[in-house]
Every structure is written in C-alpha cells, then in structure tokens.
Structure 1
Amino acid sequence: FFLSSIVTCVLFVWSQDVDSAYLVKADLEDKVGALTDEINFLRNIYEEELQELQASIKDTSVVVQMDNSRSLNMEQIVAEVKAQYEEIAARSRDEAEAWYKSKVRMMQARQFGDELRMAKAEVAEVGRLISRLQNEIEAVKAQRANLEHQLAEAEERGELAVKEAKARTRDLEDALQRAKQDMARQLREYQDLMNLKLALDIEIATYRKLLEGEEDSGSGKSSPVLLFSSSDLDNNPSSTSRLSPATVSPTAAAQIQTEAFLPSESSCFPPAPKSNGHSGSSGGGGSSAPRLLVKMTETRDLSRYSTL
C-alpha cells in the first residue's frame, strides 16, 4: 500500500510536469514560428534594400565638384557609414542569435519530449510491475492463510490423536491390571480348590480306614490308630507306611501316630502347601489342608472316633 501511494504521488507530479512541459513546448513553438517569420521578413527586406542600393549606385553617375571654398569632413562621413554598417551587423547578429536560440529550444523541446515519452514508458512499466507484485503478494497471503489453517488442523488432529492414544494406553493398562488381578484371584481359587480336594481325599481315605478298622473290630481285633497330617504328606508324598493290626495289643492305652498317604485316586494331584495352622475343615483363601487325627482308647468302643 505504501509503495502504491508513492507511485501514485510520483505519477501525479510527473503528469503535472508533463502538462507544463507541453504548454511550454507549445508556447515556444509559437514563438519560434513567429520569430522565424520575422527573420524571413527582415531578411527579405534587407535583400531588397541591398538590391535597390546596388542598383541605384550602379545607374548613378557621380559628379564631384570640387569646392575649394569648403573643406570636406571625411572622418565624419566614414564614421556615419561605419555606424550604419555596425547597426546592420548588430541587427543581423541579433537575428542570427535569436534563430540559433530558437533552434536550440526546439532541439531541447524535442529532447524533453523523448525523455518525457521514456519517463511515461518507465512509469507504465513500474505500474505493471506494481500490479504484478500486488497480485503475487495477494497469492502469497492466501497461500499463507491456507497453510496456517492446515497447520492448525494438523496440530488439533495430533493433539486429539495423542489424547486418544493416552486414553487407550490407560485403558489397556487398567485392563492388564484387572487381568493380572483376575489371574491371581483365579490362581488362589484354584489352589484353594486343590487344597480342599486334597483334604477331602485325605478325609475319604481316613474314613475308609476307619470302616476297615471297624470291620476288623467286629472280628475281635484291635484297630490301628491313624494320624493323617497334611504337613506329613507334603514332606514325604511318595513313601508308604502301614501299621499292621498285630502290632497293637487290645489293651493299649497310648496313642500311636503313623504316616498315612493318599490313595491311588488322588495321586495325580499335587500336594497341598505347608502350613502350621490347625483346622477341622478345609479353609478358604489359601489355607492349608486340615490335619486329621484318629484316636483309639483302651476300650473297644469304636464309636468314639473324632476328627480334629
């Protein structure tokens, strides 16, 4: 905008100069024409007068009478003739100078006209250049605005993608944590179920032994005392030990503790974890298998069995 204002001001000043130069040129051309006509007119008059003088001198016979009574002043006559010729020479010199000056002015006007045309051409070229630059500036501004808009959209999309990725990451981390917790809980439940199954298998085996002992007592034999401990099973799960009924007398008053082991139907399961606690039934949440104890007193009352 500033450049266009400057160019407009320059064009306005140049247009005023051009108008004034055209006016001066027209005035000078008029003056040159008038002076040329005057010079031609004076030249014609001068030539005619000169011809008349020459003709008059040629056809005139001069009779000189010597008047000795009167003396001629030749110096005055020569001075007058000299003054006349000097006046004619000065007038001719002035006319020549005027003609020369008019020619110079004409040449200067022609030169100024050429310079003016060149200046107009330069101004037109500058105007076209300014228009082209303004169009390019507008195109660059539009491109810049478009790029800024695209950049803002890209930044917005990037921020949104980062937020979504962070949220997705948090969701995945939460899901992973929940999966780990569920896996740990399921492992604990599985271990508890295995411990419970192990305890039930031991209890079934114990009751089977009790039933076998009860059958033996019906035939008048004493029943062996069995003590099943989950810790004993964990310490020695592969060995076997049995107590023969002949090794215990019918009047034994002491408690006998032996090692008992799982029957064949439960041998495929892993042993329960060790624990120092005692419980009458299977516990929940990672507790060890209960300790089973079978006692026998001096009497043969086989109904007094208890499970601790």
Structure 2
Amino acid sequence: MKVLAEIRDQYEDVTEQNRREAETWHKEKCESITQEVAFSTEAIQAGQVKIVELKRLVQGLQIELQSLLSMKVALEGTLAETETRYGAELARLQGLIASREADLVQLRTEAQHQDVDHKKLLDIKSRLEQEIATYRRLLDGDGPEIKSPSPKPPTTPEPFSSRRVKTVIEELVDGKVVSSRVEEQEHPV
C-alpha cells in the first residue's frame, strides 16, 4: 500500500504541476488573446471610422455627379436650342441675301435697259436738233438748197443683257451646316 500511496502522491504532484502549467499557459494565452482583441478592436474601430468617412465621401461624390449630369443635360438642351435658333436665323439671312442678289440682278438689268433707252433718246434728240436747225435755216432763208434728210445713223446693237441667279445650297445634319456651295446660272433676258 505504501507503493500505492507513493504512486498516488507522484501522480498528484504531476497532476498539480500539469494544472499549474496549464493555468500559466491559459493565463498567458488569455492575456495574449486579450491584447490581440484590444488591438483588433482598435483596428476595427479605426476601420469603421474610415468606412464612415469613405461612405460620406462617396455620397458627396454621387451628389456632385448627379448635379454635373443635370448641368450637362441642361447645357446640351441649351446648345441644341441655340443651334436651332441660329440655324433658322442663318437660313433666313441666306434667303434675304438671295432675295437681295436677285433684286440686284434685276436692278442691273433695268439699269442696262435704261442706258439703252437713254442712248436711243439721245440719238433721237440729236437728229431732231439737226432737223430743227435745218428747218430754221430754211425759214430764215439762208439757202434754198435742200439737204436730203440725213441718213439714218447706224443703230448700235443692243447690249447683251442677262440675268444671273445665285443659289446657296447647304446641307444640314442635326441643325448643323456640314457643307455649303453656291451655284450661279446666267440666263439671257
């Protein structure tokens, strides 16, 4: 029995030593884990603060993006309206220019006709003045000789007159002028 008591004592000593070692190991592990948990908690809190800041930044950027997109849509609408308005104004001005050019061609043609008529009238006036001078000499008795009527002066050929028509042709795509050309045609009058 003595042997059993010794074995039991040895066993109890070994058990007590294992328990103490286990308690020491457990304490060390608990302290280590507590430090890790404290460090992790700080890291988690710092991460959560960073996440909150980043979420605020993302929300601010999304609001700014929406604002910029709205501004872009408004500016595109204004641009389209301006292009349409200036396209219509340009078309009106081109029509006005074409009308003025047609008026100018007509005025030139009328001026040429008036010039021809004026030359004819001057010719008739000159012949009438010669005839009046001849009749005066005859009435005054300056001479019995009767001059034969002066031959008809050679008629000058009528100047060639024509009408020039300019047409402005523009190709529009989405209200923008992509090409423009002027066609000019001359028609005899």
Q: Identity of aligned pairs, percent? A: 9
1:90 CA drift (Å): 1.7
Structure 1 residue 221 corresponds to structure 2 residue 145: yes
Distance in 1 (alpha carbons) for counterparts of 2:65 and 2:42: 34
Larger radius of gyration: 1
Aligned residue for 1:104? 25
Question: Secondary structure of 2:156's match?
Answer: helix
- Structure 1: segments with no counterpart, 5+ residues: 1-79, 236-271, 276-285, 288-308
Which of residues 105, 126, 133 in structure 2 aligns to 1:184?
Answer: 105
TM-score by length of 2: 0.70
The C-alpha deviation readout for 1:176-204, integer Å capped at 9, x for no partner, is 21221121122122222222222222222
Q: Which stretch of the first structure deviates more once superposed, 166-175 or 133-142?
A: 166-175
Q: Measured at CA, do residues 108 and 155 of structure 1 come closer, stay the same or move farther in structure 2, by a change above 3 Å?
A: same
Which of residues 48, 55, 67 in structure 2 aligns to 1:134?
Answer: 55
Aligned residue for 1:253? none
Distance in 2 (alpha carbons) for counterparts of 1:233 and 1:125: 111
Distance in 2 (alpha carbons) for counterparts of 1:121 and 1:132: 16
- The 5 Å alignment of 1:157-196 reads 157-196=78-117
Aligned residue for 2:170? none
Distance in 2 (alpha carbons) for counterparts of 1:274 and 1:154: 56
TM-score by length of 1: 0.45
Question: Secondary structure of 2:149's match?
Answer: coil
Aligned residue for 1:145? 66
Which of residues 206, 219, 234 in structure 1 aligns to 2:156?
Answer: 234
Q: Which has the higher contact order (CA 8 A, sep 6+)?
A: 2
What is the Cα-based RMSD across aligned positions, in Å? Answer: 2.8
Q: Measured at CA, do residues 137 and 90 of structure 1 come closer, stay the same or move farther in structure 2, by a change above 3 Å?
A: same
1:217 CA drift (Å): 4.9
Aligned residue for 2:159? 273
Distance in 1 (alpha carbons) for counterparts of 2:128 and 2:160: 23
1:125 CA drift (Å): 1.7
Aligned residue for 2:167? none
Letter in 2 for 1:224: S
Aligned residue for 2:185? none
1:141 CA drift (Å): 0.9
- Structure 2: segments with no counterpart, 5+ residues: 162-187
Distance in 2 (alpha carbons) for counterparts of 1:202 and 1:81: 173
Aligned residue pairs: how many? 160
Letter in 2 for 1:101: A
The C-alpha deviation readout for 1:264-287, integer Å capped at 9, x for no partner, is xxxxxxxx6379xxxxxxxxxx99
The C-alpha deviation readout for 1:94-125, integer Å capped at 9, x for no partner, is 22222222222222222221222122122112
1:233 CA drift (Å): 4.6
- The 5 Å alignment of 1:1-308 reads 80-218=1-139, 219=141, 220-229=144-153, 232-234=154-156, 273=159
Question: Secondary structure of 1:221's match?
Answer: coil
Distance in 1 (alpha carbons) for counterparts of 2:24 and 2:127: 150
